[in-house]
């Protein structure tokens, strides 16, 4: 039998730091032949571009992107299975799977068995990145958060530098109450000893079913590129951020391209100066109850600038 491909799953809610972690794992595993399957919830994938921008060693045939939903929802199962079969042909030593922030990876083992991929892959680790600054609030409203933590063997309480030291024990207790078997690590920018992943294998098994369905999926909206004033557009994005779960993408002003995202309530616009071009536009992810308000804000903005 041919050697199985090790899978490392990276899960965690929107904006927790999954892409930051994946970039660092790519560097840590640079001596190995790796593949990346990247799942963006938005229609236009963004994370794959962020990873390529950070690494000069990754070519396109080592990255497989799936957008427009969660790979664990039945609506994207065929795309996910196709991606897994793609990497069987490429035969990497390790396949990193970055799930969308709304994903419930509980059904991963079940999916491998149902589609006869169990003999090709070994689920070695499931890492869950948790934003320490808002995990308690998210748990009250988002079922996905607990399911992500339950599926993991290592939970990274990221952005821990932004919380008081006396809260850390409370947060660790909270995580252990959800998954008592998980190793909990406090991190900033997802820094920890990545070599420990190579020494302590883990095997995800079971017959759990993902809670991802079309009916409980959040809404998305894509804001295409327009020639508008930077200050006015960023003001709009700041207003939209009040009712959105995640905003991210590339937008240009005066022939300068920026990566724009919301993080801990703040809008960040980072200048892209690496000479690479990206598909322009921003993806908004939000709960359906806010759709009319967000849509009206966007229409009013377009009307103001005669777009």
**Is residue 206 over pLDDT 90?**
no
Give residue-wise pLDDT tens across range 67-107: 888 899 888 999 999 999 999 999 999 999 999 988 999 89
pLDDT over 90 at 157, yes or no: yes
- Top pLDDT among 229 and 144 is at 229
Percent of the chain at pLDDT above 70?
90
Q: 118-122, 140-144, 148-152, 244-248: lowest mean pLDDT where?
A: 140-144
For residue 147, which phi and psi values (nearest 5 degrees)?
A: -65, -35
Long-range contacts formed by 159-164: CB under 8 A, 24+ apart: 159/16, 159/17, 159/131, 159/132, 159/133, 159/188, 159/264, 160/132, 160/186, 160/187, 160/188, 161/188, 162/132, 162/133, 162/264, 163/132, 163/133
pLDDT for the residue numbered 9: 95
3-state secondary structure of 236: helix
pLDDT digits (tens, 9 = 90+) for 44-74: 666 566 666 555 566 677 899 998 888 998 8
Structure-token match 């100066």, residue found: 273
Its pTM stands at 0.87
Structural domains in the chain, CATH included, are 5-199 (3.40.50.300), 219-304 (3.30.1220.10)
The least confident of 118-122, 132-136, 159-163, 288-292 is 132-136
State residue 44's pLDDT score: 67
| pLDDT for the residue 75 | 87
Alpha-carbon gap, residue 193 to 197, rounded angstroms: 8
Q: Are the C-beta atoms of 154 and 161 separated by less than 8 Å?
A: no
* 210-265: pLDDT as tens digits: 777 777 778 999 999 999 999 999 999 999 999 998 999 999 999 999 999 987 67
Report d(CA 269, CA 262) in Å as an integer. 9
Contact of 149 with 182, CB cutoff 8 Å: yes
Give the C-alpha separation, 266 to 13, whole Å. 17
What pLDDT is recorded for position 85?
A: 97
Give the Cα separation of 120 and 129 in Å (integer). Answer: 26
Mean per-residue pLDDT of the chain: 88
């Amino acid at each position: 039998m041919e050697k199985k491909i090790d899978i490392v799953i990276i899960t965690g809610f929107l904006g927790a730091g999954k892409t930051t972690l994946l970039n660092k794992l790519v560097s840590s595993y640079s001596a190995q032949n790796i593949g990346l399957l990247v799942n963006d919830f938005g229609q236009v994938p963004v994370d794959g571009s962020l990873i390529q921008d950070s690494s000069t060693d990754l070519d396109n045939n080592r990255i497989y992107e799936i957008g427009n939903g969660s790979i664990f929802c039945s609506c994207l199962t065929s795309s996910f299975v196709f991606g897994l079969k793609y990497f069987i042909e490429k035969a990497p030593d390790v396949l990193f799977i970055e799930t969308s922030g709304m994903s419930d990876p509980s059904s991963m083992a079940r999916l491998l068995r149902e589609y006869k991929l169990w003999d090709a892959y070994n689920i070695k680790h499931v890492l869950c990145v948790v934003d320490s600054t808002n995990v308690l609030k998210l748990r009250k409203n988002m079922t996905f958060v607990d399911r992500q933590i339950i599926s993991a063997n290592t939970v990274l309480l990221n952005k821990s530098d932004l919380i008081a030291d006396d809260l850390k024990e409370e947060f660790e207790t909270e995580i252990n109450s959800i998954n008592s078997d998980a190793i909990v690590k406090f991190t900033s920018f997802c820094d920890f000893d990545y070599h420990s992943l190579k020494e302590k294998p883990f095997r995800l098994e079971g017959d759990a079913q993902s809670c991802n369905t079309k009916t409980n999926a959040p809404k998305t909206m894509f804001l295409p590129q327009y020639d508008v004033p930077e200050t006015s557009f960023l003001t709009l994005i700041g207003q939209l951020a009040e009712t959105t779960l995640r905003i991210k993408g590339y937008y240009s002003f005066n022939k300068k391209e920026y990566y724009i995202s919301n993080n801990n309530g703040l809008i960040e616009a980072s200048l892209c100066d690496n000479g690479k071009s990206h598909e322009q536009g921003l993806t908004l992810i939000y709960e359906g109850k806010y759709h009319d308000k967000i849509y009206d804000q966007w229409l009013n903005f377009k009307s103001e600038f005669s777009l």
